């Protein structure tokens, strides 16, 4: 039986994803991914010259160095950044905006290093 993923969408995501997004998906979200999706993400990352060395070692190194910064939910999956597909490393108070413009009420949200609100 074929998996439930849409392989074409997965390949499109992999092509557009940053190295950090691919590493986070493989390093922290792999338990929730199907084998076919894992293979697509691994293939994409292994084709990028910026990540030399055996892929499993690169992923393990990312897990070791970046993992302590990641915020995990009670279900042991990482929180996802509200702006991209990276694992969240910050929880910050932001504003829910009416029609995306008018601030209505404050709410905590999760962000990666690139999208955190406060420096
Ligand atoms: Zn982000």
Measured in Å, residue 24 CA sits from the centre of ligand 1 at 11
SS3 58: helix
pLDDT of 88 reads 96
113's tokens: 């290093």
Measured in Å, residue 21 CA sits from the centre of ligand 1 at 9
Matching residue, tokens 């697509």:
40
For residue 79, is pLDDT > 90? yes
Name the residue with higher pLDDT: 68 or 100: 68
CA 43 → CA 76, 114, 119, distances in Å?
26, 25, 34
DSSP of 73-98, one letter per residue? Answer: PTTSSBPBPSSSSSBP-EEEEEEEEE
Measured in Å, residue 81 CA sits from the centre of ligand 1 at 5
Measured in Å, residue 115 CA sits from the centre of ligand 1 at 5
pLDDT of 82 reads 87
Measured in Å, residue 22 CA sits from the centre of ligand 1 at 12
pLDDT of 3 reads 59
Q: What percent of the chain has pLDDT over 70?
A: 94
Give pLDDT tens digits for 16-57.
999 999 999 999 999 888 999 999 999 999 998 765 679 999
pLDDT of 51 reads 59
> Cβ(105)–Cβ(96) under 8 Å?
yes
Measured in Å, residue 25 CA sits from the centre of ligand 1 at 13
Cβ neighbours of residue 3 under 8 Å, at least 6 residues apart? 34, 35, 36, 37
pLDDT of 37 reads 94
């Amino acid at each position: 039986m074929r998996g439930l993923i849409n392989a074409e969408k997965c390949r499109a995501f992999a092509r557009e994803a940053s190295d950090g997004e691919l590493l986070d998906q493989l390093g922290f979200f792999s338990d929730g991914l199907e084998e076919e999706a894992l293979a697509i993400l691994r293939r994409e990352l292994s084709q990028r010259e910026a990540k030399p060395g055996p892929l499993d070692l690169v992923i393990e190194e990312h897990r070791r160095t970046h993992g302590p910064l990641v915020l995990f939910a009670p279900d042991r999956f990482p929180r996802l950044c509200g702006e991209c597909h990276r694992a969240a490393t910050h929880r910050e108070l932001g504003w829910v905006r009416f029609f995306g413009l008018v601030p209505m009420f404050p709410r905590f949200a999760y962000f990666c290093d690139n999208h955190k609100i406060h420096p």
